Amino acid sequence: MPVETHVPICIKALTFDRSLPKRAGDEIVFAILFQPRYLASNSTHDEALHVVRDLGIDDINGIPVRYVSIPVSDEADIERAVLDSEADILYVAPLRAVSLDAITRVSREHDVMTCSGVDGYGEAGLTLTVAARAEKPEIVINYTAMTEEGVDFTAQLLGYARVLNYREAGANATGAGRRAR
């Protein structure tokens, strides 16, 4: 899915997060985590910056938004870089030689919502990803990640998305939502 498709969807999804004002406070920091020496990651970062500039979104639900870049070279950089950036939202570009577990450990410990346009990152533990399904964008929400990152998406968004890892009243389902798989 192209960056110019999934970045706006990630940003729009934030308007459905009831916990965002509490988590973000006076300013939402949307951070783009990427590896400068990995071409796919660096290109995605550059495209994402271009897209957010073109969108001109400077507030979400009345809260000002600041966009920042988080370059990382390895897992040791992640926690310090995320904390230094004061990120509320962590957009994860394609990564190589950096474990998503290291990212989700930090995001869950510090209530930072994760999102990405990389197909499969939702199954790997990021809260929101935008995947391609029949050449159309599909929002994928990892319910476990969502709750562990302190995110509270509305039923409206959850009903529209494909929801992974949803457990309801002891059910053993691995998917829920209108289009559960």
What is the model's pLDDT at position 181?
A: 37
Kindly state the percentage of the chain with pLDDT values over 90: 83
Are 70 and 31 within 8 A, CB to CB?
yes
**Residue range(s) defining the domain that contains residue 103:** 3-176
Query: Mean pLDDT, the chain, as a whole number?
Result: 91
Is 60 exceeded by the pLDDT of residue 176? no
Q: Number of folded domains in the chain?
A: 1
Residue 166 is predicted with a pLDDT of: 66
CATH of residue 108 = 3.40.50.2300
**Is residue 170 very low, low, confident or very high in pLDDT (cuts 50, 70, 90)?**
very low
47 domain-assigned: yes
Radius of gyration of the chain (CA): 15
Between β-strands 136-142 and 128-133, what pairing exists: parallel, antiparallel or unpaired?
antiparallel
**pLDDT: is 83 or 74 the higher one?**
83
The answer to whether residue 14 is domain-embedded is yes
What is the distance between the alpha carbons of residues 37 and 58, in angstroms, rounded to a whole number?
29
Q: For residues 36 and 163, what is the distance between their CA atoms, to the nearest angstrom?
A: 31
Report which residue type is found at 152: D
Q: Is residue 55 part of a domain?
A: yes
What gap in Å lies between CA 136 and CA 70, rounded to an integer?
Answer: 29
Q: Is residue 136 part of a domain?
A: yes
Q: Considering the domain boundaries, does residue 58 fall inside one?
A: yes
| Confidence at residue 167, expressed as pLDDT on a 0 to 100 scale | 59
Q: 3 pLDDT band (50/70/90 cuts)?
A: very high
Q: What is the pTM of this model?
A: 0.89
Query: 126-159 pLDDT, tens per residue?
Result: 999 999 888 899 999 999 999 999 999 999 999 9
The answer to whether residue 181 is domain-embedded is no
Structure tokens at 55: 């969108």
12 is a domain residue: yes
Residue 32 has pLDDT above 70, yes or no: yes
pLDDT score at 75: 87
Q: Which helix (H) or strand (E) holds 5?
A: helix 3-13
**168: pLDDT strictly greater than 70:** no
Q: Judge whether 73 lies within some domain.
A: yes
